[in-house]
Amino acid sequence: MFVDECIIKVQAGDGGRGCIAFRREKYEPWGGPCGGNGGKGGDIVLIGDDDTNNLVDYKFKQHWKAERGEHGLGKDCDGREGKDCEMRMPLGTIVTDIETGAVVAELTKDGERIILRKGGNGGFGNLHFKSSINRAPRQANPGQEGETGAYRLVLKSIADVGLVGFPNAGKSSLTNAITHAHPKMAAYPFTTLHPQIGVIDFPETNQRLMLADVPGLIEGASENKGLGHRFLRHIERCSVLVFIIDMAGVDGRDPREDYATLLKELKLYDKALLKKPRLVAANKMDLPKAKTWLTKFKAKHKVPVVPISCSEGLGLEKLKQALLKKVIALQGEEHVAVKR
Ligand SMILES: Nc1nc2c(ncn2[C@@H]2O[C@H](COP(=O)(O)OP(=O)(O)OP(=O)(O)O)[C@@H](O)[C@H]2O)c(=O)[nH]1
Ligand SMILES: [Mg+2]
């Protein structure tokens, strides 16, 4: 099950109470105050995790609590601190406060730690209040309460290249052919029901790109037809968009119309998507009508086109290099270098 939006409630740990105690020993009946401080409550900590791409863990468990701090003890012993509640989240998760609507955190790096809510401090024990004028204080603090909150989590995948296309255009076939991911592909529409992220490797140069395969779009997606615009948030952060077009016009399609419709649907979702550099991957070039359609397509639309065939492996290397070049031009060499 793929989940990219959910609501959570969190509660950081309360601080432990301070202790009131006095030292009494055999030859020292008035040993003075010795009440320890309470321990601090655990924080709610968010951790960026590169190994997951799903918020499903938070869909079915909505309440998250950190441990409370232990109370202070006699003999000058402080209470133990409460354990933090660590919540691992996929990179690209945006955390919004439900009450104020403000974005409070965004996880972008693996291992990044963000304290979402702080645990309460422990209260002081009576030892803390000892002074020259009050040598036997009968006073201690209660611990502070841990902070609480309700948040909306929205996952917007982080990839360099986003694939957009009609159902059956061959998005998953392309993902299978050039990345290490293996999404299901089949000759019926809406085979892919949720986004998949794949890695395109360039072993000779030690570089890599992340590619997002998103479910197909159809005309009227803005009115929620097909799977609607729901998954387009996963290409919002891509640097480059690849429009994959069925250039053979299978089932009487017109590739020129397909491209125009895709542009229209993206515009209805968010105009900013059209500002991203894009290129067209003209797929299914192994089929007979594809060449004629390609000439007609190029005459109508002025956009860089790379002819490919996923089933025969044609043009894939050229497409990979074109993508790498575009991403490097935008993000720099450092961005695509494999970190060891
Ligand atoms: N002849 C030919 N068929 C192809 C090519 N690429 C994909 N196909 C076929 O097109 C059909 C759809 O491929 P998918 O990769 O599942 O298409 P998709 O765009 O991921 O489709 P959805 O997930 O439904 O949106 C499959 O039957 C593929 O075998 C190609 O280059 N040549
Ligand atoms: Mg697919």
Digit-coded pLDDT (tens) for 231-257: 888 988 899 999 999 998 888 889 999
165 lines ligand 1 (CB under 6 A): yes
Tell me what pLDDT residue 331 has: 86
Rg of the Cα atoms in the chain = 29
169 lines ligand 1 (CB under 6 A): yes
The residues, ordered by sequence, that sit 6+ positions from 106 with a Cβ below 8 Å of its Cβ are 93, 94, 95
The boundaries of the domain holding residue 176 are 161-336
Q: Give the position, in ligand 1's atom list, of the atom nearest the Cα of 314.
A: 31
Burial class (CB in 10 A: 0-12, 13-18, 19+), 26: exposed
Instruction: Say if residue 141 is in the same domain as residue 16.
Output: yes
Instruction: Say if residue 175 is in the same domain as residue 299.
Output: yes
What is the total residue count of the chain?
340
**3-state SS, residue 191:** coil
**CATH assignment at residue 329:** 3.40.50.300
Instruction: Say if residue 122 is in the same domain as residue 207.
Output: no
Q: Which residues of the chain have pLDDT under 70?
A: 339-340
Instruction: Say if residue 304 is in the same domain as residue 186.
Output: yes
Tell me what pLDDT residue 50 has: 87
Instruction: Say if residue 277 is in the same domain as residue 170.
Output: yes
Instruction: Say if residue 183 is in the same domain as residue 104.
Output: no
Instruction: Say if residue 175 is in the same domain as residue 148.
Output: no
pLDDT (tens digit per residue) in 283-326: 999 998 889 999 999 999 899 999 999 999 889 999 999 999 99
Instruction: Say if residue 264 is in the same domain as residue 149.
Output: no
**CATH assignment at residue 34:** 2.70.210.12
185 lines ligand 1 (CB under 6 A): yes
Q: What is the pTM of this model?
A: 0.83
Final residue in a domain of this structure, among 115, 134, 155: 155
Q: How many domains does the chain have?
A: 2
CA 114 to ligand 1 center in whole angstroms = 41
Cβ–Cβ under 8 Å, residues 158 and 297: no
Tell me what pLDDT residue 90 has: 92
pLDDT (tens digit per residue) in 98-128: 999 999 999 999 999 999 999 999 999 999 9
Instruction: Say if residue 138 is in the same domain as residue 191.
Output: no
The residues, ordered by sequence, that sit 6+ positions from 334 with a Cβ below 8 Å of its Cβ are none
290 lines ligand 1 (CB under 6 A): no
| H or E element that contains 150 | strand 148-155
Tell me what pLDDT residue 29 has: 86
